[in-house]
Structure 1
Amino acid sequence: MITGNGVTALGHELARKRATISYKLPLCPEYNISEISDVLNKSKALGPRVYVVHIDPDPSLKFFRIVKKLDMITSNYIWLTTDWLSSTLDSLPGDRDSLEILQGVVTLRPYIPNNPKKKAFTARWRNMQLKAKFTTYGLYAYDTMWLVARSIDRFLKENGGLTFSLNNKLQLGNLKVLMVENFY
């Protein structure tokens, strides 16, 4: 089992195929336009032509606007993104002009098959009249909250509740591990 972040996992999988990541070009989570430009200009000198972009969601597509400005969306470059881009695209309005900068960019999208549970969840989502669009991350967040709520409910039913004492020392070693299934 591979642990760590997505870039580490990618490095492990590439190593299994006798390939490596030549360079890792880090960006701070609060990156700005000049930082992106500096990192990408440095990368041009290093010579990589295949980029795997693993960043926080970027609703304004700031990263790829700079890539386009630096003339790096050409046949000389290959751009692959992790699922942050597909989730970002799911939550954007249908403005085709702003998406033109992504011409040729390949992204991964988690696949959740259509089944009765998903259809029922999607209907509940619409009935809640949430302003947020339905995305895979929304589904995972909803599923996680149900998991936490169900685990707490089950724990309380099996253990008769919680009591607090004046010493407020929680005995975590006495807690049981609960297995709970998906609920969407």
Structure 2
Amino acid sequence: MTPGIERPYAGGVEIEWTRSGFERLGFVGWKRFGLIERSDLPDKHGVYVVISEALGRPEFLTKSVGGPHKRKPLTVGVDVLSKAWRDGAEIVYIGKAGGRRGLQDRLWAYARQGRGHSAGHAGGRFLWQLPASEKLVVGWREVDGVSDVEEALLALHVAAFQSRPFANLKDGKRMTLPRACECLAAALGVLPRDVG
């Protein structure tokens, strides 16, 4: 299969780990981080994926363009980034947004962090050492139970590729594959082998 459009089975569920695959799962929005405005974003809970349209190995920035977290810079070594990168991967981060205003607060803070502003989180910080990180695209889906849905997506990604998405620092280990499949069937309508 061509890198980036792989649809490996994980726990009996087939997910196409691409923008088009997630569009079929009901993800919407698809805004570039550099162009997002707060008014573009729903104030509901949900999960989101960040995609990179450049599938080859990038020349990582030696210094993060992201704003600090708790007054600490987000920069990590290029060697750490190189180990985390998987050539051909379109999905580079999976996240969740709960809280009072859900996706609106989370993704707006994230977009601002990519523009150099301080943010109250450090999740996904590897993204800000990608060249042209402002061109990364985010799509989202409003769901309940955001923590479980995020964990389920991460668990299935790890089962499919033996690695987590590039900028995720956790990998869904707290959720078994059967539970992940049940969770996604309930939340996203993903049934065994029906996606792709």
Q: By the TM > 0.5 criterion, same fold?
A: no
Q: Name the larger-Rg structure.
A: 1
Larger strand proportion of the pair: 2
- Structure with higher RCO (Cα < 8 A, 6+ apart): 2
Larger helix proportion of the pair: 1
TM-score when normalising by structure 1: 0.25
